[in-house]
């Protein structure tokens, strides 16, 4: 009896091992379907019957159609001896080696997988602008969307080729079902390119992505659900990190939100401790003062009503502040949804040129955001970025008119209600202690003009300066640097 049982266990173990091997082998085949792939389904799509290319079918839908991925990728590969970081500021060799699809870890909290969504969520138009993006990263972005989203939620993918050197990328990618590509006749920058893509979108919900992303399991439903419930919400996923060196997919912290300093420099910051303590459900949205900018979902009608983007901003930068201030101050809200995860290759430098120079462009764009939205608080922006004074930023008349028309709240309202953690420099200095050369200087509050009186005489400008090189000390502690 015991021997029979031992034999049965042995047979089951061997069957299980063989089964696992078979499963892994299937899974690692280059063209395996993430859902289902069969001859009968092919016949349903008659024209594809005789194809020889690998085919991915999801819910009976041939994801890549006639598009020849192999030819697309192999015709543009790194040449022997070439620096793999030179062209894209990430390791192109690794990206190419990975191929266009791979399994990534589901980085969500386990409770996210039991969330439910309305069965009648509306579809979205995905908008991806790109300028000289690597073929392998761009294709992985597109494929991850097609393979990890319920097909009925993807109305279309609109690529906007921002005058990349090779027009073929745009033309070839348009062969993928649902993908359309618009090519700019001159370099416009990501802001005007996104507006062009959004205007061409036919769905009522817009989803923006950078051109080097990989969306993760069930990334889309939580975002569409929140926007469907309230069209004034603008929502972002947690942005996971794709290593620029080896392309490993790494989970980002779920305790972060978007913040900035007075120079309008974006940074990730911890959720304030009171909010963190109050969070007993890790699937709940996180209110964020600003979004990073590249990956978000927004109702199309709301995007248009709020004035799309400031199309006088060029190339890159600053548009995320302008959009974030506008959304909050004009009646909407911004949130990060922890149950939605999208990976992104964060780079250390821009791989492309700025026709007017990187610094001047950033100043022009952020200056426009400050001038239109920051009211009297723009003085702190100028104090933090003295080089912005006197730099050209064009006319802002139409954006000021928009702000009046939308009857938006003041920046003071934004600071009080959305971002009270952003310390106003005078106040900050007033309640801070300052240690310099072994001396600890303590301030004694503010006078009626809001100017600082210091126990030791220090010019306010010096304090401001110190503030911006991050040696000010909140929480009334003497800090040892
Ligand atoms: C972040 C945002 C990015 C944008 C930027 C501020 C994320 C993940 N990324 O910078 O979307 O909000 O902050 O402006 O939040 N591109 C063009 N034309 C250009 C330059 C860039 O189409 O002239 C494309 C580019 O190919 C990419 C996207 O715009 O798809 C964003 O550019 P990036 O990846 O260099 O920006 P990133 O991630 O450093
Ligand atoms: Mn990017």
460 pLDDT above the threshold of 50: no
What is the 36 CA–ligand 1 centroid distance (Å)?
Answer: 34
Cβ–Cβ under 8 Å, residues 454 and 292: no
What mean pLDDT comes out for the span 465-476?
28
**pLDDT band, residue 78 (cuts 50/70/90):** confident
Smallest CA separation from ligand 1 atom 14, residue:
317
Position in ligand 1 atom list of the atom nearest CA 266? 13
Compare 38 and 175 and report the one with higher pLDDT. 175
- For 321-359, how does the pLDDT look when each residue is reduced to its tens digit (9 = 90+)? 999 999 999 999 999 999 999 999 999 999 999 999 999
CA dist., res. 96 & res. 123, Å (int) = 31
pLDDT higher than threshold 70 for residue 476 = no
195 burial (CB, 10 Å; 0-12 / 13-18 / 19+) is buried
Atom number, ligand 1, closest to the C-alpha of residue 187: 23
Lowest mean pLDDT among 15-19, 28-32, 314-318, 351-355: 28-32
Of 19-23, 264-268, 330-334, 452-456, give the lowest mean pLDDT range: 452-456
Q: What is the pLDDT of residue 76?
A: 87
For residue 345, the ligand 1 atom closest to its alpha carbon is 38
- 17 pLDDT higher than 70: no
pLDDT at 425 over 50: yes
Q: Which tens digits make up the pLDDT trace of 232-266?
A: 999 999 999 999 999 999 999 999 999 999 999 99
**Which residue lies with its CA nearest to atom 31 of ligand 1?**
210
Tens of pLDDT, residues 94-142? 999 998 889 999 999 999 999 999 999 999 999 999 999 999 999 999 9
Is ipTM beyond 0.90? yes
Of residues 198 and 43, the one with the higher pLDDT is 198
CA torsion sign for 202, 207, 210, 211 is negative
Model confidence, pTM: 0.81
**Total number of residues shown for the chain:** 481
Identify the H or E element spanning 371: helix 358-373
Which structure tokens are listed for 476? Answer: 């009334």
Pocket-forming residues, ligand 1, beta carbon under 6 Å: 129-131, 133, 162, 187, 189-190, 193, 210-211, 239, 292-295, 315-317, 319-320, 344, 350, 352
Ligand in nearest proximity to the CA of 343? 1
204 is written with which tokens? 């009522």
Indicate which residue's Cα is closest to atom 15 of ligand 1.
Answer: 294
Q: Looking at the CA of 354, which ligand is closest? A: 1
- Per-residue pLDDT at 289 exceeds 70: yes
How does DSSP assign 180-224, residue by residue? EEEE-SS--BHHHHHHHHHHH--SSEEEEE-SSEEE-TT-HHHHH
- Confidence band (pLDDT; 50, 70, 90) for 50? very low
State the closest ligand 1 atom to the C-alpha of 133, by its place in the atom list counted from 1.
Answer: 26
Atom number, ligand 1, closest to the C-alpha of residue 210: 30
The pLDDT value recorded for residue 47 is 40
Q: Which residue among 131, 132, 210 is best mutated to probe the pocket of ligand 1, counting the most ligand atoms within 8 A of its Cβ?
A: 210
- At residue 56, the pLDDT reads 82
Place of tokens 């040449």: 79
Average pLDDT, integer, range 406-428: 92
CB 480 within 8 A of CB 435: yes
């Amino acid at each position: 009896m015991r021997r029979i049982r031992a034999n049965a266990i042995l047979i089951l173990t061997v069957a299980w091992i063989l089964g696992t091997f078979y499963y892994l082998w299937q899974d690692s085949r280059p063209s395996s379907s993430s859902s289902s792939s069969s001859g009968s389904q092919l016949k349903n799509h008659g024209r594809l019957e005789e194809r020889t290319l690998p085919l991915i079918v999801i819910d009976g839908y041939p994801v890549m159609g006639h598009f020849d991925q192999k030819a697309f990728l192999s015709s543009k590969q790194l040449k022997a001896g070439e620096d793999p970081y030179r062209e894209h500021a990430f390791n192109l060799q690794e990206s190419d080696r990975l191929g266009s699809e791979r399994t990534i870890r589901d980085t969500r909290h386990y409770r996210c997988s039991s969330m439910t969504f309305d069965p009648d969520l509306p579809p979205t138009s995905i908008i991806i602008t790109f300028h000289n993006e690597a073929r392998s990263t761009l294709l992985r972005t597109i494929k991850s969307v097609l393979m990890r989203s319920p097909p009925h939620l993807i109305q279309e993918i609109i690529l906007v080729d921002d005058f990349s050197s090779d027009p073929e990328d745009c033309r070839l990618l348009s062969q993928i079902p649902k993908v359309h590509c618009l090519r700019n006749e001159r370099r416009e920058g990501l802001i005007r390119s996104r507006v062009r893509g959004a205007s061409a979108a036919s769905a009522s919900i817009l989803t923006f992505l950078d051109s080097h992303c990989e969306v993760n399991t069930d990334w889309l439903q939580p975002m569409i659900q929140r926007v469907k419930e309230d069209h004034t919400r603008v929502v972002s996923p947690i942005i996971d990190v794709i290593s620029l060196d080896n392309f490993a997919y790494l989970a980002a912290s779920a305790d972060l939100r978007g913040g900035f300093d007075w120079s309008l420099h974006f940074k990730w910051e911890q959720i304030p401790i009171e909010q963190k303590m109050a969070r007993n459900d890790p699937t709940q949205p996180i209110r964020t003062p600003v979004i990073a900018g590249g990956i978000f979902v927004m109702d199309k009608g709301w995007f248009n009503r709020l004035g799309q983007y400031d199309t006088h901003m060029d190339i890159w930068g600053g548009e995320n502040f302008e959009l974030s201030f506008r959304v909050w101050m004009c009646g909407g809200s911004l949130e990060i949804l922890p149950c939605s995860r999208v990976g992104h290759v964060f780079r250390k430098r821009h791989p492309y040129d700025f026709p007017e120079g990187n610094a001047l462009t950033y100043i022009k764009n952020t200056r426009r955001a400050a001038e239109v939205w920051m009211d009297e608080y723009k003085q702190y922006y100028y104090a933090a970025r003295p080089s912005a004074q006197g730099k050209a930023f064009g006319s802002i008349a139409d954006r000021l008119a928009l702000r009046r028309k939308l009857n938006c709240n003041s920046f003071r309202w934004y600071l009080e209600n959305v971002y009270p953690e952003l310390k106003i420099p005078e106040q900050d200095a007033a309640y801070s202690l300052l240690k310099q050369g072994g001396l600890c200087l303590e301030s004694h509050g503010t006078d009626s003009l809001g100017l600082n009186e210091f126990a030791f005489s220090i010019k306010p400008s010096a304090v401001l300066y110190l503030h911006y090189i991050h040696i000010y000390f909140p929480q009334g502690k003497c800090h040892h640097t």
